[in-house]
A and B are shown apart, each in its own frame.
Chain A
Amino acid sequence: MKYIFKRIGLLLITMILVSFLTFLAFEIVSGDPVRNMLGTDASPAQIEALRQELGLDKPFLSRYVSWLLGFFSGDLGRSFSYKQPVWELISSKLVITLALSLISFALIILVSIPLGVFSYQWVGGPLDGVRTAFNQLCMAVPPFFTGILLSWTFGVILKVFTPGDFPGFAKDPGGSFVHLFFAAICLSIPRIAMTVRMMRSTIVDEMNKAYVRTAISRGNNRWSVLTRHVLKNSLVLVVTFLGQTLAELVAASIVVEQVLGIPGLGRFLVASISHRDYPVVQAIVVILAFWVVLAGTISDIVNRRIDPRLRLGGEDE
């Protein structure tokens, strides 16, 4: 219980820190949202009026504090460019990106853990070299390239989905899922390759440990040594890695969303940065930070379940 509170505290501190840094970054970086909105031939009076309206005339710290207070009361502010509450703008996009990340993550787990075990069985075998080459290839291929490839084969030729025309969950949940599924494949291929390679090397390491000899001396066969002892011992590293992967997925989806025309958070973030739409950027960045810390927390909690040595200090249960 104490552990959970500690993690929540950490989460809050991280989010405040990140939001402050983004605020600061926009203060330092060039580009004026007001000029951006009014165009080059706006009069100084117009500019001043809008500046006041948006609250940009106030000093930096007071703006930050009022944003922070608003954030904690559930008000993410209003978008400069769209003149709409930020939450209304991003909530539907957030759902799409979240769905994309989770589908990719599920793919990564479902494919890479069995494949990792399978790939261990090949160690030293005749196909080991082929496997290594294929693994390297999968790791090297960038998601946008797979994106183009999949759009072309499944979108243009086979017409399973229409690239660039995302139907939306409300209109066509099945079609939306297919669309996201292809994007998820692009996102997950390099990460599956990394996870498989990591699992393989961890299993090889674990297999050389003394407890494996003990397990064999008790009559376990190779398979039960693997499933009953080694796999669990290998998972701690893999779970940590998967936690990082989960955190990165949202950021990585930005590119894939562009290629496959998915109206997610990533695309919106890029557009908002170039429009200097601070409130939107600020909100998305804080959400991303929340996601990263959350992913870390989840992998920590899972690891504490797997490895009792991480529970030292007796805070659990």
Chain B
Amino acid sequence: MLEVRDLHIRFLNRDREAVAGISFTIKDGEIMGLVGESGSGKTVTAMSIAGLLPRKQCEFSGDILLNGQDLLHAERKLLRSMHGKDIGVVFQEPMSAMDPLMKVGEQVGEVLRIHTDLSKEERREKVLQVMREVELRDPEAVYEKYPHELSGGMLQRAMIGAAIVIEPSLLLLDEPTTALDVTIQAQILELLKRLNRERGISMLFISHNLNVVRKLCRRVAVMQRGKLVELGETEEVFFHPLHPYSKKLIDAIPTRDKKQTEP
């Protein structure tokens, strides 16, 4: 469904490639994890898949194919027609990712406004429906609220709702739980799992936290300095890491039986 082939990205003001030749595929209905520390190139990879790469500021080569359609070299107009419709994106901090002056309901329905001919009432119905689906309580009230009136967890649910209100082929999640506290984090992961199970939405889940990825993804790719250093079944990578970097990432996960040397 999504195929990334030998992707290279270098920003013009840098010497080192941000993404140095990575390849992977995501199958239909799969949740794939992409882990790595900050600066490893995982967000750049995600942005290039989402078609949000600032093309004038970088050199790039390779292929990104979504259902056979090339995204990396696609024309702006074609990309715009795919944004939101074929690829939904959920960003890290819901509070800043939302327009502070637009009602939450309108933001959730924005994709519908852009990509469908539905009337205002029909859009509202769809939005309320998707809000129920992402387990927002009292959707009618939430619809009329502004972002500052909702909690981070509720906003992230709304953001997820906005990304799936038209069924996209791929849902890109760029550290969607990093800014949230642990209980909310767990709830959002459950929600994503359920959406994947019930709706069969494919997802690429980006995180620096291997433990979170383990809860959600069958397969995981580990990135370091722009390269994929490990790719495989999550449990496999988790218990038998081949690359020393993956080992280090796994060792960094705090557990109950392991003594922490660092606070």
Binding site for B on A (CB under 8 A): 209-211, 213-221, 224, 228-229, 232-233, 306-309, 312
Decide: B81 and A219 in contact? CB cutoff 8 A: yes
Q: Which residues of A contact B87 (CB under 8 A)?
A: 217
**What are 14 A-B contacts with C-beta separation under 8 Å?**
A210-B97, A213-B97, A214-B97, A217-B83, A217-B84, A217-B89, A218-B83, A218-B84, A218-B111, A219-B83, A219-B85, A219-B111, A233-B99, A308-B148
Nearest to A307 among chain B residues (CB) is B101
Q: Which residues of B contact A228 (CB under 8 A)?
A: 102
CA distance A113 to B214 in the complex (A): 51
Interface string of B9-41 (1 = CB under 8 A from A): 000000000000000000000000000000000
B22 to chain A, nearest CB (A): 21
- Find A211's partner among B84, B88, B100, B111 (CB 8 Å cutoff): B100
- With an 8 A cutoff between CB atoms, is B115 at the interface? yes
Q: Which B positions have Cβ atoms within 8 angstroms of A?
A: 50, 52, 80-85, 87-89, 91, 93, 96-102, 110-111, 114-115, 146, 148-149, 159, 162
A46–B100 CA distance with the chains assembled, in angstroms: 70
Which residue of the partner chain, among B91, B99, B111, B148, contacts A309 with CB atoms under 8 Å?
Answer: B148
* CB proximity of A158 to chain B, nearest CB, Å: 46
- In this complex, what residue of B is CB-closest to A124? B56
Write out the residue numbers on chain B whose beta carbons fall within 8 Å of the beta carbon of A213: 52, 91, 97
**CB neighbours of A224 from chain B (8 A):** 114
A221-B89 contact in complex given A214-B97, A216-B52, A233-B99, C-beta closer than 8 Å: no
Interface centre among B85, B89, B91, B97 (most CB of A within 10 A): B97
Chain B residue contacts of A214, Cβ below 8 A:
89, 91, 97-99, 159
Expressed in whole angstroms, the Cα–Cα distance for A213 and B111 within the complex equals 14
Q: Would A219 and B115 be within 8 Å (CB), given that A213-B97, A309-B100 are in contact? A: yes
Asked, given contacts A210-B93, A220-B114, whether A229 binds B148 with beta carbons under 8 Å apart, the answer is no
